[in-house]
């Protein structure tokens, strides 16, 4: 049974008031430690979901495409970061300097890959039926995952770093410096994206295209260039999450993008597909609920995916537009 619901009943059965009071206090503090530890774990996991969900929601907000290849870009980003880290480790070591370098270069490389995919596979299909472009996205996903599988022979690769296991102790709650740096990095990326979208001309163009592409063309906005920029940013964020996942879990596999792609899509829908703040909120919400869900009675880690997608179904029934989503009115 999960620890959150395990009570040391044998100790609490003593009738002495002082012993009983100490027992209740120890139980309360033990449960508080578990709650805080799971909260920290959920925020870390949710930051990965949020970064990948941002790519989903940005692309959908502009061209109404559910880019199911996005999870595989996360996977490719992890492998590209692994290759770059292996190349620069002799010069920079395997600490944060090398990891930062590999993350930045991986973001650039996978961002360009996202633009190439958009130009080759998606742009010619923009005026085709939505089902056609959706099938194209699934085909791109299969190409990426099977391509990496062929290169790696389907084996797990160890993402080796030299970060150590030091961290901060808060009673029985432990947060490593690696976890702290990953959360801070994800937060910085999300803040930079928010400022970019709301404070720059390119960000304003993105928001305008999401409303009316034809009017933007009449106003002289290069719509295709802005769409390509959107794919570049979304793919870059997915690559950053892939490198972070490699650092956090210590291994990479060609199938790692499938599940997190579905989870990130779930997070985007929970927050409100098309809403950037909604993707961030949805990712963090899903990560925290997943962490706490494994502590519920009869719900272990093997049930966490059932818990996540069950939550999606319930939310769509209660609020189909998501937490921050808005109902769209189509004009005839």
CB 186 within 8 A of CB 287: no
CA dist 159 and 82 (Å) reads: 6
CB 264 within 8 A of CB 66: no
Residue 315 pLDDT more than 60?
yes
CA dist 136 and 141 (Å) reads: 9
Q: Residue 253: CA atoms inside 13 Å, Cβ hemisphere, count?
A: 10
pLDDT at 272 (0 to 100): 84
Q: Which residues pair with 170 in a beta bridge?
A: 173
CA dist 31 and 45 (Å) reads: 21
In which band, very low, low, confident or very high, does the pLDDT at 26 lie, cut at 50, 70 and 90? Answer: low
Give 226's contacts (C-beta < 8 A, 6+ positions apart): 62, 202, 205, 206, 209, 216
CA dist 63 and 180 (Å) reads: 35
Q: Which residues pair with 158 in a beta bridge?
A: 251
**Residue 132 CB: number of other CB atoms within 10 A?**
11
pLDDT digits (tens, 9 = 90+) for 154-177: 889 888 888 777 777 777 777 888
Q: Phi first, then psi: give them for residue 158, nearest 5 degrees.
A: -80, 120
Domains located in the chain, CATH noted = 22-318 (1.10.3470)
pLDDT at 30 (0 to 100): 63
CB 183 within 8 A of CB 168: no
Residue 188 pLDDT more than 80?
yes
**Residue 191 CB: number of other CB atoms within 10 A?**
11
Comparing C-alpha atoms, which of 268, 214, 237, 22 is closest to residue 108? 237
Who wins on pLDDT, 20 or 2?
Answer: 20
């Amino acid at each position: 049974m999960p620890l959150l619901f395990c009570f040391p009943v044998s100790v609490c059965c003593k009738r002495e008031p002082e012993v009983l009071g100490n027992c209740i206090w120890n139980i309360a503090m033990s449960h508080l430690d578990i709650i805080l530890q799971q909260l920290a774990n959920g925020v870390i996991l949710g930051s990965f979901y949020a970064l990948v969900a941002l790519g989903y929601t940005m692309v959908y907000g502009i061209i109404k495409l559910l880019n199911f290849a996005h999870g595989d870009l996360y996977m490719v980003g992890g492998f590209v970061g692994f290759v770059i880290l292996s190349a620069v480790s002799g010069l920079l070591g395997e600490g944060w300097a090398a990891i930062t370098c590999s993350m930045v270069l991986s973001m650039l490389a996978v961002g360009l890959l996202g633009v190439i995919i958009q130009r080759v596979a998606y742009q010619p299909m923009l005026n085709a039926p939505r089902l056609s472009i959706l099938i194209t996205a699934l085909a791109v996903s299969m190409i990426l995952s099977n391509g990496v599988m062929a290169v790696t022979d389907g084996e797990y690769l160890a993402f080796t770093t030299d970060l150590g296991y030091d961290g901060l102790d808060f009673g029985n709650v432990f947060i490593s410096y690696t976890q702290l740096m990953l959360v801070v990095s994800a937060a910085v990326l999300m803040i930079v994206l928010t400022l970019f979208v709301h404070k720059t001309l390119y960000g304003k163009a993105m928001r305008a295209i999401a409303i009316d592409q034809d009017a933007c063309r009449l106003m002289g906005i290069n719509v295709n260039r802005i769409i390509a920029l959107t794919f570049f940013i979304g793919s870059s964020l997915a690559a950053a999450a892939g490198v972070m996942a490699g650092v956090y879990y210590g291994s990479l596999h060609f199938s790692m993008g499938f599940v997190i792609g579905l989870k990130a899509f779930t997070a985007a829908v929970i927050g409100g597909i098309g809403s950037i703040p909604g993707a961030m909120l949805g990712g963090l919400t899903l990560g925290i609920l997943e962490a706490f869900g494994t502590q519920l009675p009869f719900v272990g880690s093997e049930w966490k995916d059932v818990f996540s997608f069950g939550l999606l179904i319930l939310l769509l029934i209660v609020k189909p537009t998501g937490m921050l989503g808005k109902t769209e009115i189509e004009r005839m």
